[in-house]
Amino acid sequence: MSKTSATMFVSLLAVAGMIWFLVSGDREISRSDMKLLPPVSSEVGDGLLLFCAASNRAAMESVRERYEAETGRKLEIQYGASQTLLSQIELTGVGDVFLPADDSFIRVAQDKSLIAETVPLATMRCGIAVPRGNPRGIDDLTDLFSADLRVVQANPEVAAVGRLTKEITTGLGLWDQLNSATDAYRTTVTDVANDLVIGAADAGIVYDAVLSTFPDLEFVAVPQLEQAVSTLVVGVIARSQQPTEALHFVRYLSAEDRGLEDYRQHGFLTLPGDVWAETPEIALYAGAMLRPAIEDTLVRFEQREGVRISRSYNGCGILVAQMKSGQQPDAYFACDTEFLQQVEDLFQPAVVVSRNELAILVQKGNPHNIASLHDLTKPGLRVGIGHEKQCAMGWVTQKTLEQSGLRTRIMENVTVQTPTGDMLVNQLRTGSLDAVVAYLSNAAGAGEFIDAVRIEGLTCSVATQPWAVARNSRYPRLTERLFRNICSADSQAIFTAEGFQWQLQVSGSENP
């Protein structure tokens, strides 16, 4: 199906959906409810197709004007009720970006595998809209129960504000009274506001941000709806044919100095976002041993997002020294928690991702018959280990040797100390070393040349790898999405294949 044909099909579905809504409802629907979603232009071309909740229209139009002028890219927008938009995405499989009025619709879409990446944007509060000056003196939800008051709401079957209102008031035991007091249900929250403007109603339940473009109305916060707050989360549609372009717009929309500026000006309480950059660059510091486990994931992330990742793979001791001298990455993936703790004031709370186990690596066939750490004390044996001040592996090795009681004797045979396990493995393969103490992951993929001897009975022979995002990162949201990719099922499989043990418990669906 071509994009033009698909978008025409979307419009036909909107018509069909509204007809179903009109004939299946159990309340009388006034003529002003009989509004169809405006059809998507048949001249879509190469622009992005955004499904956007009607409550966001004023702010989104400001973003669209700015985005198209600044980037030269086109944006087509279908406005409507959140549930209607979600149904269109599910039935047609077209579109690039979805922005409902409440994150509950994003979670439903994720459960149906309709959404890939997500980014939180802002919050909106539910309350009562009244004509400016509040002539009826409404200051409590129960005031709406007056028989001579004309009350309108957005339909809870299709609109986020209606669904949330029903959920909250049902919990308070007030829904039946509110439902009885409601004279009409509208398709969207903006339809509710319009009824008040033209004098067709005295009060309606709306989001606070919606009233930014209705100067003749005012918002009344009532205690019963204090907890009725919707979080806006934008999602990239999983079947988008242009995900990189969609992510470009999502980054613009969620940028502190771009889209979020427009949202703040329209009364939304925005959540922290990234700084805008046409092609942002994340600085990532990672222990050298993690390179084979994450490099493919980083490459795929760069290609899909249209961004760059500046990698610094090295011994963690060296990376820590660089950070202490003033260099600041956006994220640090350490070989062991010990080295993150040395710079933890620079980072947000860390998450342990994986574990890696020390082992004795020997040449294929184990020509020196090494079976334990004690065998590394054999006279004349050439042993290599990590440098304790330059890498986590060296630090863990020293702890392990100390715990074994053999540190002094083994160190007499140590001829090489390096900042990375790969250096040790290379020297083992060339024959300049007889045995090395390194991670099991260092032996991954080298089974043709190397055998691994496990170190039994010493708990300190295991290193844990934590991930942390810098407190002053310019791109916390982008870095968060990178971490989600590192936590994906495909990434976990790579970690396991490279000799790591996966530790982090990740839920099946992505959290917004």
Tell me: the pLDDT tens digits for 360-381? 999 999 999 999 999 999 999 9
Tell me the pLDDT tens digit for each residue of 100-125: 999 999 999 999 999 999 999 999 99
For residue 13, pLDDT over 70 is answered with: no
Q: Which of 85, 1, 98 is nearest to 49 (CA)?
A: 98
Structure tokens at 371: 């079976």
Q: Which amino acid is at 271?
A: L
440 or 38: which carries more pLDDT confidence?
A: 440
Structure tokens at 126: 């539910």
CA–CA dist 249, 245 (Å, integer): 6
Domain residue ranges in the chain: 3-270, 279-512
Tell me the pLDDT tens digit for each residue of 129-160: 999 999 999 999 999 999 999 999 999 999 99
Residue 66, CA atoms < 13 Å, CB-side half-sphere: 17
Q: What is the DSSP letter of 91?
A: H
Q: Which residues contact 45 (CB under 8 A, 6 or more apart)?
A: 74
Tell me the pLDDT tens digit for each residue of 72-93: 999 999 999 999 999 999 999 8
CATH numeric code, 279-512: 3.40.190.290
Q: Which amino acid is at 277?
A: A
CA–CA dist 351, 171 (Å, integer): 36
Q: Which residues contact 407 (CB under 8 A, 6 or more apart)?
A: 398, 401
With contact defined as beta carbons under 8 Å apart, do 356 and 462 qualify?
Answer: yes
For residue 40, pLDDT over 60 is answered with: no
Residue 276: its pLDDT value, please? 98
Q: Do domains 3-270 and 279-512 have the same CATH topology?
A: yes
Q: Which residues contact 14 (CB under 8 A, 6 or more apart)?
A: 36, 37, 39, 80, 84, 88
CA–CA dist 49, 96 (Å, integer): 5
- Parallel/antiparallel/unpaired status of strands 115-131 and 217-220: antiparallel
Structure tokens at 125: 């509060």
With contact defined as beta carbons under 8 Å apart, do 158 and 37 qualify?
Answer: no
Burial class from Cβ neighbours inside 10 Å (0-12, 13-18, 19+) for residue 429 reads middle
Q: What is the mean pLDDT of residues 207-219?
A: 95
For residue 44, pLDDT over 50 is answered with: no
| pLDDT-based confidence at residue 357 (cuts at 50, 70, 90) | confident
Residue 505: its pLDDT value, please? 67
Structure tokens at 486: 């590192």
Alpha helices in 215-290 (DSSP H): 243-253, 259-265
For residue 11, pLDDT over 90 is answered with: no
3-state secondary structure of 328: coil
Q: Which residues contact 152 (CB under 8 A, 6 or more apart)?
A: 182, 183, 184, 185, 186, 192, 195, 196, 200, 201, 203, 204
CA–CA dist 198, 233 (Å, integer): 32
Q: Which residue has the tokens 């439902």?
A: 179
Q: For domain 3-270, is the CATH number 3.30.230.10?
A: no
Residue 366, CA atoms < 13 Å, CB-side half-sphere: 12
Q: Which of 376, 371, 426, 435 is nearest to 401 (CA)?
A: 376
Tell me the pLDDT tens digit for each residue of 287-344: 988 999 999 999 999 999 999 999 999 989 999 999 999 999 999 999 999 899 999 9
Residues listed for the chain: 512
For residue 506, pLDDT over 70 is answered with: no
Q: What is the mean pLDDT of residues 206-220?
A: 96
The CA–CA distances, whole Å, from 342 to 347, 418, 421 equal: 11, 20, 21
Q: Which of 247, 230, 222 is nearest to 138 (CA)?
A: 222
Largest CA distance in the chain: 100
